[in-house]
Amino acid sequence: MVKNSFTLFETLLSITILFIIISGFLNSSYYDEKALENSIKLNTLENKFNTNDYSSFSKDNEEITIIKNLSQKEKITISKYSFENEDIKIFKYEK
């Protein structure tokens, strides 16, 4: 005897498996809107670092001491540019 149609059980099983696969894709980090927003924000911050546009960063000046050849001390003033929100914390030191 040849079977030509799906039974109700096979149909429900197929729909359940399809639902699990689709919900897995929707809940993965690839489709996460917050991760996408953070990625865009990081890209924007990287572009600002590359063009030396520090308008959206806070600036702190720090003085550090460098010891050369175990005897010579040299003081250098550096600038620390930082950006911080609930998901991203990034900084850059520049002389």
Give me the tens of pLDDT residue by residue for the chain, a chain 95 residues long: 566 666 888 888 889 999 998 888 777 756 567 777 888 888 998 888 888 888 888 999 999 899 988 889 999 999 999 988 888 888 888 88
pTM of the predicted structure, to 2 decimals: 0.56
Residue 1, pLDDT score: 59
**Are 83 and 90 contacting, i.e. CB atoms less than 8 angstroms apart?**
yes
CA–CA distance, 63 with 57 (Å, rounded to integer): 19
Edge-first strand order for the sheet with 58-68 is: 58-68, 72-84, 89-94
Residue 32, pLDDT score: 67
CA–CA distance, 33 with 39 (Å, rounded to integer): 10
Which secondary structure element, helix H or strand E, spans residue 73, and what is its range?
strand 72-84
Residue 31, pLDDT score: 57
CA–CA distance, 27 with 39 (Å, rounded to integer): 18
